[in-house]
Copies of this chain bind each other. A is one copy, B any other.
Amino acid sequence: MEMKDAKRVEIIIEAPMENRLTDVLDEAGVTGYTILPVMGGSGRSGRWSREGQVSIAGGMVAIICIIRPDRLEGLLEAAFSVVERHIGVVTVTDCSVLRAERF
């Protein structure tokens, strides 16, 4: 199978910031991403869990973004402008993709 190099960006961010992040990504021309739910976690601000929660305040989501390497910098800048003041984790991994023409 023919595969092309790409970057897999994973952004774990607070749920109330989700729309702001995706809006910024859209503006930066990043229109492909997938959002995974998160059940809980732990960090410097302690442990948390979505169990029984009504407010979205305490939750996070994981946004996965497969992107061509040359567009990575733009994505990261856009993401950083939102994540900057907020808790959250941004990681980038090398990967290869099928049907690279789609990205």
Q: What 0/1 readout, one digit per residue, does chain A (17-47) give for beta carbons within 8 Å of chain B?
A: 0000010001000011111111111111001
Residues of chain B contacted by A8 (CB below 8 angstroms): 10, 91, 93
Q: Is the CB of A34 within 8 A of B60?
A: yes
Q: Is the interface of A mostly helix, strand, loop or mixed?
A: strand
Residues of chain B contacted by A22 (CB below 8 angstroms): 42, 47
- Chain B: minimal CB distance from A20 (Å): 14
Supposing A34-B60, A40-B35, A42-B31 touch, asked if A1 and B76 sit within 8 A by C-beta, the answer is yes
Residues of chain B contacted by A39 (CB below 8 angstroms): 35-37, 61
Closest to A91 in B: B95
Supposing A43-B31, A62-B36 touch, asked if A90 and B98 sit within 8 A by C-beta, the answer is yes
